[in-house]
Structure 1
């Protein structure tokens, strides 16, 4: 299981982050439709993350492609230029607010440490970003390999 599934308190945080930041732009839509669009963004309906992982897009670029698709689904123009940079910063800040362990993770890791059982973190994302997730979640200290 990846880091997101292990310690993100709410696995729907990308969806909630999108709605928090883009909600005003989507106010003309029925709430159900807004949620569908947010889910498409969170689930990467644009299939941009794979393009990021292959080096075709930057991290911000993949988010912008996902945002463009979401806004296209809403029938509106997506933020570009400086407006997109502001959107991306606000979205990232909102998502980072959710980076904390499930309530039982620290106790579980404590048991593993008391038993001298090794454990680690596995991710499909870049190391620096995932280490920041661990740090903000209070779970730093994994050796790099």
Structure 2
């Protein structure tokens, strides 16, 4: 972070799923109740469904982000594959859409922020009231904005750049530069925080932003990329940065 000392950082942007909102917990709750039913199921079966659902989600979303599928098509692909693999046979588009509508209701009801989100954002705004906060996210813009509204973060995170509107997805530099352009800031004036090392932090750095890796999984990876274990570590890091900046400016 030492190269940030003389730069006027004006904004902090965040990844959404896995950084601010616990997508995995919401998806796990939704798929187990929708696919296995509300009754207790053997833990092994639940684990198999959840694990395979996450794999199918990553695979289908990659194809959507690459432009190979529409958002609706990637949803259908996920559940039709899951149903077939667990012995429920081929499903029509109508069956897939009906199931996914039920899944979405449960998924949206389960949207929650991580416990460290509100304290971290409050600390950032307390440290610098004029700091602009926002989100850069891969996915459908309407759904991602609904998430922010559902968890009560819309007023605080007013700037949202979503891949469906930007025409590019992380780790493509274009989506990061689009966010900076919309803020009318240079990339060197923006800090970006995300839970994926390559897709978020390293990609942001490659685009000229100041990337920070949120290592929620305690991966203990050796990396030169600035990283934190919890969002509550972000405000002290940012305060330290601003203190160094003021010292440099006085010395000049």
**How high is the TM-score relative to the length of structure 2?**
0.50
Kindly provide the CA deviation profile for residues 13-54 of structure 1, in whole angstroms up to 9, marking residues without a partner as x: 212211111114xx9x96413421332112326721111112
Distance 1:23 1:56 in 2: 30
Partner SS state of residue 138, structure 1: coil
Correspondence 1:68 to 2:93: no
Question: For residues 122 and 46 of structure 2, what CA distance do their matches in structure 1 show?
Answer: 41
- 2:30 aligned partner: 17
Highest Rg: 1 or 2?
Answer: 2
Q: Is the 8 A contact 1:15 1:39 kept in 2?
A: no
8 Å CA contact 2:80–2:96 kept in 1: the answer is no
Correspondence 1:98 to 2:110: yes
Please state how far the C-alpha of 1:63 moved relative to its aligned partner.
1.6
Give 1:78 shift: 4.7
Indicate how the Cα distance of structure 1 residues 94 and 54 shifts in structure 2: closer, same or farther if over 3 A, else same.
same
CA RMSD in angstroms comes to 2.5
Q: Paired residues, what number? A: 142
More helix by share: 1
Deviates more, 1:81-90 or 1:65-74: 81-90
Q: Which runs of 5+ in 1 are unaligned?
A: none
Shift of 1:65: 0.9
CA contact (8 A) 1:79 1:87 kept: no
Supply the distance in 1 between the matched residues of 2:111 and 2:133 (Cα, whole angstroms): 20
Structure 2 unaligned spans of 5+: 1-13, 161-181, 183-252
Whole-Å separation in 2 of the counterparts to 1:15 and 1:78: 23
Q: In 1, distance between residues paired with 2:105 and 2:23?
A: 15
1:8 paired to 2:11? no
Q: Structure 1 CA distance, aligned partners of 2:43 and 2:82?
A: 14
Change (3 A) 1:59 1:92: same
- Write 1 or 2 for the structure with the bigger share of strand: 2
Larger deviation, residues 90-99 vs 110-119: 110-119
Task: Tell me which residue corresponds to 2:153.
Answer: 139
Segments ≥4 residues shifted beyond 6 Å: none
Query: Is the CA contact (8 Å cut-off) linking 2:30 and 2:107 kept in structure 1?
Result: yes
Give the drift of 1:93: 0.9
d(CA) in 1 for partners of 2:150 and 2:113? 10
Please name the residue that 2:142 is paired with: 128
